[in-house]
Homo-oligomer: A and B are copies of this chain.
Amino acid sequence: MEKTIIELEQAAHTLKLLGDKTRLTILGLVKDGECCVCEFVEVLQMSQPSISQHLRKLRDAGLVKERRNGQWIFYSLNKEHDTYPIVQQVLEQIPDQKEKLTALEKAGLRIQCDS
């Protein structure tokens, strides 16, 4: 497979979004699956509007996609996006965020995606 070179401007825009602890954690959380907003709120211990605003930025940039399921909206990585290779590489080099979700699960706060 030929290597895709990402435009500098687009790369900078994506990296700026990655350059925030909250958003980087959000992306780490959806690395292997989808999460709904209330899960981010629980894990990150931040207000719901604040989380929603970060998610909007990530979605506007095309880094994540959303799927509604009833009352819940699930977010996941958009692997089709031009800059996904950058996101992927970065996520491989930071600590796994999965344990934060398993902690949620133990507390019974994890939303069942197929509910």
User: A: which residues have CB within 8 A of B?
Assistant: 3-9, 11-21, 24-25, 28, 85-86, 89-90, 92-95
Contact = CB atoms under 8 A, between A and B. Distances in A.
A27 to B, nearest CB: 11
Q: Which 9 A-B pairs have the closest CB atoms?
A: A16-B19, A15-B19, A15-B18, A89-B89, A19-B19, A12-B21, A11-B94, A12-B24, A8-B94
Copies in the complex: 2
A93 B5 CA distance: 5
Q: Is the interface of A mostly helix, strand, loop or mixed?
A: helix
Contact of A90 (B7, B15, B28, B95): B15
Contact of A89 (B7, B12, B24, B93): B93
